[in-house]
Amino acid sequence: MIYPVNEIFQTIQGEGWHTGVPAIFIRLQGCDVGCAWCDTRHTWAVNPDHRIEVTDLLQSAPATAWASMSPTHIVEVVRQPKWTAKWIVITGGEPAMHDLRPLCEALEQAGYQIQLETSGTYPVQVSAATWVTVSPKIGMRGGHVIQACALARADEIKHPVAREEHIAALEALLKQVSSKPRVCLQPISQKPAATALAMRVCIEKNWRFSAQMHKYLEIE
């Protein structure tokens, strides 16, 4: 299995249930969901003309550049001495467009714990031990629906909100899940009204508030 990798970097997880955890992010290229507020639009297209060598990707590369990497090669990269985190986040783009089982298994064998961040618009193909974060992207211009199987696999549901209708949409989704998943509300673009809404609903329903801490800290 070969993956189109947009970047690999170490930082602090700024969102969701594991906010504050040191993490190595593996960002995959490619997404057709089409979120209007997306802050990684450079990952949407897998342009063959933007494919570069791994050594160039790891040094300094244009935002739209990507490199083909096998699970073995990715493990070699994240095991470099400069990176010490043991929590790895596979993100995108939309990483669930790919079969991630070979990558998850290779990383776990190397001693890492894995988290997947996905929109829920594709079936989730990961290892049994992978922590799955579904951030439901409802009614986006890509026309995808949220997959019931993705919701069922979720360890947490991290839902972007700006208006009351977003809360109603989430509650409708939760009715499809037999268990009671962990829920985080994340205000879109840190707008004051969205933040106030998310805080109020989290208190009312005993859900967790996700503030996108990395944006406040101005880190990647």
Which tokens hold the place of 121?
């618009």
Q: Which of 102, 30, 31 is nearest to 73 (CA)?
A: 102
pLDDT at 214: 64
> Could you tell me the CATH number of the domain that includes residue 68?
3.20.20.70
Which tokens hold the place of 93?
């783009």
Domain range enclosing 29:
3-217
For the question of whether the overall pTM of this predicted structure is more than 0.75, the answer is yes
pLDDT at 215: 63
- Cα distance between residue 75 and residue 104, in whole Å: 10
pLDDT at 179: 79
pLDDT at 107: 98
Cα dihedral across residues 186, 41, 144, 1: positive or negative? negative
What is the DSSP secondary-structure string of 136-158?
---S-TT-PPPPHHHHHH-SEEE
- Cα distance between residue 28 and residue 50, in whole Å: 14
pLDDT at 77: 96
- Cα distance between residue 94 and residue 87, in whole Å: 19
What is the number of structural domains in the chain? 1
Residue 87: strand pairing partners: 23, 113
Instruction: Answer for the pair 120, 85: CB distance below 8 angstroms, yes or no.
Output: no
pLDDT (tens, 9 = 90+) of the chain, 220 residues, equals 999 999 999 999 989 999 999 999 999 999 999 888 788 999 999 999 999 999 999 988 889 999 999 999 999 999 999 999 999 999 999 999 999 999 999 999 999 999 999 999 999 999 999 999 999 988 888 889 999 999 999 999 999 999 999 999 999 999 988 877 899 999 987 789 999 999 999 999 999 999 876 666 666 6
Q: Which amino acid, residue 148?
A: A
